[in-house]
Structure 1
Amino acid sequence: MTPKVWLARETRAVAGGLRLAALYGVLEGLLIIAQAGLIAWLVHQVIMREQMLASLAMPAGLLFLVVLLRPVFQILRARTAIAAAATVQGRVRERLLGRAEALGPTGLATRDTGELASQLTDQVNALEGYYARYLPQMTVATLVPLAIVIAAFTQDWIAAGFLLLSAPLIPLFMALVGMGAERLNRDQFEALGRLSGQFLDCVRGLTTLQLFGRIPGATRGIIAGSDEYRERSMRVLRVAFLSSAVLEFFASVAIAVVAIYVGFGLLGYIEYGPASALTLFSGLFVLLLAPEFFQPLRTLAQHYHDRATALGAAELLADFESEDVAVSNATQTLAHNAPTLTAESVELARPGRGTVLRVPSLTATAGERVLIEGPSGSGKTTLLLALAGMLQPSTGHIVRALPDTRIGWLGAPAFLASASLRENIGLGDPTAEAPAIEAAARRAGVSDFADQLPDGLDTHVGERGLGLSGGQAQRVALARAFVSPASLILLDEPTAALDAETETFVIRGLAELAAEGRIILIASHDTALRSIAERRYVIRDGVLERVTHA
């Protein structure tokens, strides 16, 4: 899908609001014509007909009313257009998040997190100017100058002709500038995405960079990325300033020509056509309309940069939306009986690695603790992702017969959001009440260290569990599993790098979860977990095999 088609598709969803915003702009333009006519008429009456100001109270009051109404229509137009733009941005963000969810961790593995964040923020924000300013102004820049030309034509067709002859120069130059501006904006967004990802990676790996003495090199990399973004931004600004200067030049020349014509016509130096019939009213009326004729075109030229920016963003957003989502070979049904999980003749592949694991058969039933063993890199995590529905098998079928569509996950290191301990535990079930969360915290041993904190479970922890040890973070994740209603719990190396006490808590917690009738499926090479497993599988030479002996 081309960027123009993509933008047009989004326009259809808010066409009514954009038309209303354009209508307000056109009404404001008609008020400008009325304002110029009233001013010219009042000046003509006072100077040429020597009327007293007191006798012109009603026309003056009408002029005052017109002046007051103009900002009213400006405000209405801005509010309506901004609301339409916000609707588009909300729709696009919702679709992008849906696409990211559909792609899953494996589909997004090749994308930089900072780049993805840039798409959801900067590139979506770049659409605002196109819908809030450029599209309504397109209608205004077409109808208002036309109305002004018609009004000028009623007074002097030569002056109106000057305006008509100069008008096409502005859209022509805008089109020429837009060809290069679109490419420059696309390059700028790409540079911003790379810089965002680079900076995020440096922040995440700051401890490692410091220990290996790579801070100066990382700093130079960020400086180089910033310089690249600055240079690309300056290229965009150069095009914008150059186009504005040229457009102002054409508009100024055209206004000057009209002013010279009216001046010489009023002085009697021009006798061709209607020039000899010019009056103070008609001449002043045309002179007041001349700048207003070019104002909508000038504004459109300013907002034309918004169009180029939106086209550059739309190209990248359309590419992300067009990424293929693998068709799932897994089925999930709501089971009224005990939950079961089966996989038959499954092959799993990862991008750039080909087939990494073959699963002839795997079965797990309610209350079972199933252990999947294998060396690092053998495909244990890949299998868990497939069983969770986040990686689609190349062949075969996975069937999840569960009473609840939710699936529990406990990995190492455990994921913790920048929130309180209570909120992190509540991620397992957003509807859980405080007593359920507190009970889960006690069962997982979170209360043992939370009670020593000033705010208890309301203590805020940083992103990725900053402020907690690895064992404490794992206990919080275990509490999340306790509070979750999920009947299938997947665990990826749940005891990795844990002390003996925390490992005991985790193993005991797994037994309690299994006792509740849940399926517990563990991927680990920790031999201590063999003692609690009712069913064991091992990965050998890329094939999952059932272990039938102790």
Structure 2
Amino acid sequence: MKAQLKEATAPPLAFAGLLWVADGAGAVAFALGLALAVGALPAAGAAQWPWYALIVGGALIRAGAVFAASRLGAVRARRLKRFLRERLMRAALRTPPGQAASLGERVAAVVDEVEALDGWFARFEPLGFASRLTPVLILGAIAVASPIVALILIGALVPFALVMALAGMAAAEASRRQFDALAHLSGLFVDRVRALPVVLAFQAEQAEAAKVEGAARGVARRTLAVLKFAFLSSAGLEFFAALSVALVAVYCGFNLLGLLPFPVPEQLDLPRALFVLALAPELYLPLRRLAAAYHDKQLGQAAAERLAGVLDGPSAPEPSSAAIEAAPAIRFEGAAVRHPEGPLIGPVSFTAPAGAVTAILGPSGSGKTSLLSLLVGAAPLADGEVFVGEHPISKVRSVARSVAWAGQTPALAPGSIAYNIGLGRTDAPPGEVAQAARLAGLEPALHQRTDGLATELDERGSGLSGGERRRIGLARAWLKPAPILLLDEPTADLDEAAEHEVIARLRDLAKGRTVLLATHSERLAAQADHVVRLA
């Protein structure tokens, strides 16, 4: 995955890295102008404006390079996040049934974990590119003025690099643990918010709050561990940077005064001494910037490892693009379903004739819903085969595009009742939406509401009874022009009169379609053309 990300963002990386190198070149120009301007002060009548111009030019180069590099790094990170989120969404949509992570973990992957890559690619990698070139540039400039100072700085880099390596290895593991804890907290929080009505119904607020609090404390502990290593690495960096600059200052001072206790093959003058002394801190600046962004790298690598599991994990084939225009026969040939850590359902063999109503009758847990879910790719086919016409589900994964579905808990979106009915066919005229509502038996419920079909709902469908939700699902299924109709317990949550009404309308809903309905109701099954009984 990392290779793909770098390939997608390589040109901005090179440009941003070169801009950070240009900041080092600006530092050399600034130090040279400063040294020459000070050296020219004792000379009466010497033109000093070129050195002042060099000072100003070096400062402008540095300011412009830092600004442009930061902007270009942000552009690179934005391009990468867009590239990655597109692939994450595709991977999530193609996750094999039964292997999807929890909602909270998927939200954390698409939002938090992708966002954690920002600092790595916007700051750390361009700075890493520059940190390999800028110190060489500055050391070269220093070596021209004073080879001895260059050797002092190279010697000070050895313990500096050792401290950085040790701190980096410790920080990497701490960052991984912190990111795992943060992803766990995000998933736990989102899933508990999603299940809030159930939590409240069973008065489990205190227990669930304690779980979230424990996860939050775990994130805090791991964050403090990361900060501890960051502090240690920063302290080591500052110590050796200050020590090396102090050594250079002492050497330059004693060399100028001629008081060195040992012989050296050079004698510095004021401009050369000032030049190397001004550049000595600049040798460590790229490395200090890199160290400041090191935490971004650790977070980014931890996130990339987690995201690689999503992108490189098992994926199911794309849904069939073959158009199923006429009601097909549906054949289950030894089909079996096994959800993770669940019992084997099946094997089951039967044929639902084309254009007929087939009822799947059985007790709870017998696998009725799972068999319907096989057709839309929402359940894993463990054995056998299911043919929709001539299309095997093991090859096409899903024929959801050709299916109208009315499930036990119809999904509702914020919007009007009419909008929710029309989700399966967004271009449906208002008259057809109203007709679908009437065929599903929603008219009495609409008459009780002032706005009728324009009544606004939230995502939970607050104010609707279970039966009214089912009717919205039936209306949506009737409105979608699909040759296959799947009904999962369409008469559950309905009283006897309402159940009788739905049964009476079944033939209207089923007209011109192959219908599979899962039910407990013997009365509803009696209206089917074919009945399959599961033990």
Q: Against the structure 1 CA distance between its residues 423 and 294, is the aligned structure 2 distance closer, same or farther, given a 3 Å change threshold?
A: farther
Q: Hey, what's the Cα distance between the residues in 2 that align with 1:44 and 1:449?
A: 93
After superposition, give the CA deviation of every residue in 1:267-299 in whole Å (9 maximum; x if it has no partner): 3323743552x2222122112211111010011
Counterpart for residue 167 of structure 1: 157
Paired AA for residue 32 in structure 2: G
The match for 2:370 among 382, 392, 403 is 382
Counterpart for residue 24 of structure 1: 19
Counterpart for residue 357 of structure 1: 346
Q: Does 1:485 align with 2:474?
A: no
Q: Against the structure 1 CA distance between its residues 229 and 440, is the aligned structure 2 distance closer, same or farther, given a 3 Å change threshold?
A: same
Q: Does 1:342 align with 2:331?
A: yes
Counterpart for residue 396 of structure 2: none
- How far apart are 1:67 and its partner, in Å? 2.6
- How far apart are 1:139 and its partner, in Å? 1.1
The match for 1:223 among 213, 220, 225 is 213
Q: Hey, what's the Cα distance between the residues in 1 that align with 2:416 and 2:58?
A: 56
Does the Cα contact within 8 Å between 2:323 and 2:402 map onto a contact in 1? no
Q: Against the structure 1 CA distance between its residues 336 and 241, is the aligned structure 2 distance closer, same or farther, given a 3 Å change threshold?
A: same
The match for 2:248 among 243, 258, 267 is 258
Does the Cα contact within 8 Å between 1:478 and 1:506 map onto a contact in 2? no
Does the Cα contact within 8 Å between 1:404 and 1:487 map onto a contact in 2? no
Paired AA for residue 245 in structure 2: I
Q: Against the structure 1 CA distance between its residues 225 and 59, is the aligned structure 2 distance closer, same or farther, given a 3 Å change threshold?
A: same
- How far apart are 1:429 and its partner, in Å? 3.1
Q: Hey, what's the Cα distance between the residues in 2 that align with 1:415 and 1:500?
A: 25
Does the Cα contact within 8 Å between 1:31 and 1:70 map onto a contact in 2? yes
Mean CA deviation greater in 471-480 or 9-18: 471-480
Q: Against the structure 1 CA distance between its residues 483 and 32, is the aligned structure 2 distance closer, same or farther, given a 3 Å change threshold?
A: farther
Does the Cα contact within 8 Å between 2:334 and 2:383 map onto a contact in 1? yes
Counterpart for residue 229 of structure 2: 239
Q: Against the structure 1 CA distance between its residues 475 and 302, is the aligned structure 2 distance closer, same or farther, given a 3 Å change threshold?
A: same
Q: Does 1:273 align with 2:250?
A: no
Q: Against the structure 1 CA distance between its residues 97 and 510, is the aligned structure 2 distance closer, same or farther, given a 3 Å change threshold?
A: farther
Q: Against the structure 1 CA distance between its residues 212 and 155, is the aligned structure 2 distance closer, same or farther, given a 3 Å change threshold?
A: same
Q: Does 1:472 align with 2:464?
A: no
Paired AA for residue 424 in structure 1: N
Q: Against the structure 1 CA distance between its residues 350 and 41, is the aligned structure 2 distance closer, same or farther, given a 3 Å change threshold?
A: same
Does the Cα contact within 8 Å between 2:105 and 2:186 map onto a contact in 1? yes
Task: Please give the TM-score of this superposition, normalised by the length of structure 2.
Answer: 0.88
Three-state SS of the structure 1 residue aligned to 2:98 is helix
The match for 2:383 among 395, 400, 415 is 395
Paired AA for residue 106 in structure 1: G
After superposition, give the CA deviation of every residue in 1:429-452 in whole Å (9 maximum; x if it has no partner): 345566655654555456765677
- How far apart are 1:137 and its partner, in Å? 0.8
Three-state SS of the structure 2 residue aligned to 1:409 is strand
Counterpart for residue 371 of structure 1: 359
Q: Hey, what's the Cα distance between the residues in 1 that align with 2:270 and 2:430?
A: 80
Mean CA deviation greater in 189-198 or 20-29: 189-198
Q: Hey, what's the Cα distance between the residues in 2 that align with 1:275 and 1:423?
A: 85
Q: Against the structure 1 CA distance between its residues 231 and 159, is the aligned structure 2 distance closer, same or farther, given a 3 Å change threshold?
A: same
After superposition, give the CA deviation of every residue in 1:111-158 in whole Å (9 maximum; x if it has no partner): 332222222222221111111111111111111111001111111111
Q: Hey, what's the Cα distance between the residues in 1 that align with 2:176 and 2:497?
A: 54
| Runs of 5+ unmatched residues, structure 1 | 1-5, 541-550
Mean CA deviation greater in 112-121 or 136-145: 112-121
Three-state SS of the structure 2 residue aligned to 1:394 is strand
| Runs of 5+ unmatched residues, structure 2 | 392-398
- How far apart are 1:499 and its partner, in Å? 4.4
Paired AA for residue 384 in structure 1: L
- How far apart are 1:177 and its partner, in Å? 2.1
- How far apart are 1:11 and its partner, in Å? 1.4
Counterpart for residue 176 of structure 1: 166
Q: Against the structure 1 CA distance between its residues 102 and 58, is the aligned structure 2 distance closer, same or farther, given a 3 Å change threshold?
A: same
After superposition, give the CA deviation of every residue in 1:78-135 in whole Å (9 maximum; x if it has no partner): 2322222223223332333222222255222xx3322222222222211111111111
In percent, how many aligned pairs have the same letter? 35
Does the Cα contact within 8 Å between 2:336 and 2:382 map onto a contact in 1? yes
Show the 5 A alignment for 1:181-192: 181-192=171-182
Show the 5 A alignment for 1:53-452: 55-108=47-100, 111-270=101-260, 272-273=263-264, 275-276=266-267, 278-325=268-315, 333-366=322-355, 368-401=356-389, 405-432=401-428, 437=433, 440-441=436-437, 443-444=439-440
Counterpart for residue 30 of structure 2: 35
Q: Against the structure 1 CA distance between its residues 279 and 99, is the aligned structure 2 distance closer, same or farther, given a 3 Å change threshold?
A: same
Q: Hey, what's the Cα distance between the residues in 2 that align with 1:518 and 1:297?
A: 69
Mean CA deviation greater in 6-15 or 379-388: 6-15
Q: Hey, what's the Cα distance between the residues in 2 that align with 1:50 and 1:425?
A: 91
Mean CA deviation greater in 33-42 or 288-297: 33-42
Counterpart for residue 3 of structure 1: none
After superposition, give the CA deviation of every residue in 1:387-432 in whole Å (9 maximum; x if it has no partner): 2233342332222249983432221221123445454334313455
Paired AA for residue 461 in structure 1: L
- Aligned-pair Cα RMSD in Å: 3.0
- How far apart are 1:380 and its partner, in Å? 0.8
Paired AA for residue 508 in structure 2: E
Task: Please give the TM-score of this superposition, normalised by the length of structure 1.
Answer: 0.86
Does the Cα contact within 8 Å between 1:333 and 1:400 map onto a contact in 2? no
Q: Hey, what's the Cα distance between the residues in 2 that align with 1:459 and 1:172?
A: 68
After superposition, give the CA deviation of every residue in 1:194-229 in whole Å (9 maximum; x if it has no partner): 323333343344344444443222222222221111
